[in-house]
Structure 1
C-alpha cells in the first residue's frame, strides 16, 4: 500500500530529474543490446523503436506499460510485476534473464525498466550480466554503475541476487563435474 501512495510523487521526481532538468538519463545502454531505464511513457516508444528495441522487461507492479504503442511498433513485453522498493522474486529474475537472452541471441535490443531504472530493473540486468557476460555480482554492479551511475549501489547485497548467483555457481559446478 505504501508503494502505491508514493508512486505519483516519486514518478514526478524522476520526471523532474530525467526529463526536465536532465540530471539523469531516462535510459542507458549497459551492453550493446541491453538498455536499463525508467518508466517508458507512450511518447517514448517511437524513440525506443528507433534505438532498435524489440523487447521490454517491465518490472513495475504499478504500471502495465504503453501496450498499444508496443503493439504498434512490434515490441514484445514480458511483465514481471514487482512492488516498488522491493526486489524481484527469483522466478521473476530467471524469467527476465531468459527473456533478455532469448532476444539478444536474436539480435534484438531489450529495454529493462522499473519506475526509475535504479532498483528492480537494475537487479534483473545485474543478474543477466552475471549469467551471460561472465561477471560476478560485484563486477556486474561495477559495470552497471559505470553505465548508469544512479542504479542502487547495493544490489549484490540483495538476498535474491545472492540466491541467483548461487544457482549460477551450482550449475557451473554441475557442468564441470560432467566434463
Structure 2
C-alpha cells in the first residue's frame, strides 16, 4: 500500500491593521499616482521649489517675496488664482499672466484649466524655453493648480504622460498634488493628454 503524505496545516497568522499614511492613501485613490512615491508627505510646505533650471513652483508666500524674486532673477509669473495679487506687476521687467481658477474640484474649474492649458503652456515656454528666463508658477499652496499647469507644460513640450509629469514634479516638490484623496485636476491632465495623442496620429 503506497504511503500517504499528509500536508501539515500552515499556522494561522493573525492579521494586524496598520495606519495608512497620507501618501499611501493618496496613491490608493488616484490612478495617476498609483505606484508613485511621495517623499516627506508630512513636512510643512516649502515656499517654493525648483522644478527645472528655469521654472519655480510655489505658494502665495513666494509670490510676494521680493528677495526671492531678486535672488532668482524671476522675470515672469503665472498666477493660478482668482484673488492673490500680482505683487510686482508695477515692475516693467516682470511679466504676469493670471489663470483665474479655484481649487474646488468642480467641473467648471477643471474645464477652465483645460481651456487655459494652451495659453499657460505657451507662456511658460516663452519665458523658460525661448527667452531662457526664470519663471515662478504659483497658486495658494503650490500643490494643485500651479503644479497641474507645470505638468501640462511638461506634457506639451516634453511628451511626458500625466503620470510621468506628476512624478517629475513630485520628485522636485514632494508636497505637490498632495491634498485630500485625489489629484484635483487629474481629469484635465488626462483630457489634454488624449488631445496630444490625437494630434500625433494626424
2:17 corresponds in structure 1 to none
Query: Unaligned 5+ residue runs, structure 2?
Result: 1-42
* Structure 1, unpaired ranges of 5+: 1-21, 175-179
1:85 CA displacement: 3.2
2:123 is aligned with 1:99:
yes
| Contact 2:81 2:99 (8 Å CA) reproduced | yes
Tell me the residue number matched to 2:60: 39
Secondary structure of 1:70 counterpart: coil
Query: CA separation in 2, counterparts of 1:119 and 1:46?
Result: 25
Q: Which residue does the alignment assign to 1:160? A: 188
29 and 73 in structure 1: CA distance in 2 versus 1, 3 angstrom threshold: farther
Aligned position for 2:157 = 132
- What's the TM-score, normalizing by structure 2? 0.67
Whether contact under 8 Å (1:93, 1:127) holds in the other structure is yes
CA distance in 2, matches of 1:41, 1:136: 28
Q: Which residue of 2 aligns with 1:79?
A: 98
Q: RMSD value over aligned CA atoms?
A: 2.2
Q: Which residue of 2 aligns with 1:70?
A: 89
Q: Does structure 2 conserve the Cα–Cα contact (< 8 Å) formed by 1:64 and 1:79?
A: no
Q: Normalized per residue, which structure has more strand?
A: 1
Q: 1:151 to 1:31 in 2, by over 3 A?
A: same
Shift of 1:110: 1.0
Work out which structure has the larger RCO, using CA pairs closer than 8 Å and 6 or more positions apart in sequence. 2
Q: 1:95 to 1:42 in 2, by over 3 A?
A: closer
Residue 43 (structure 1) shift: 4.6
TM-superposed CA distance for 1:141, in Å, is 0.9
* 1:172 alignment partner in structure 2: 200
Q: In the aligned structure 1, how far is the partner of 2:66 from the partner of 2:90? A: 10
Residue 150 of structure 1, aligned match among 175, 178, 183? 175
Deviation at 1:111, TM superposition (A): 0.7
Count of residues paired in the alignment: 151
How far has the Cα of 1:62 moved from its partner? Answer: 2.1
In the superposition, the TM-score normalised over structure 1's length comes to 0.75
2:77 maps to 56
Which structure is higher in helix share?
1
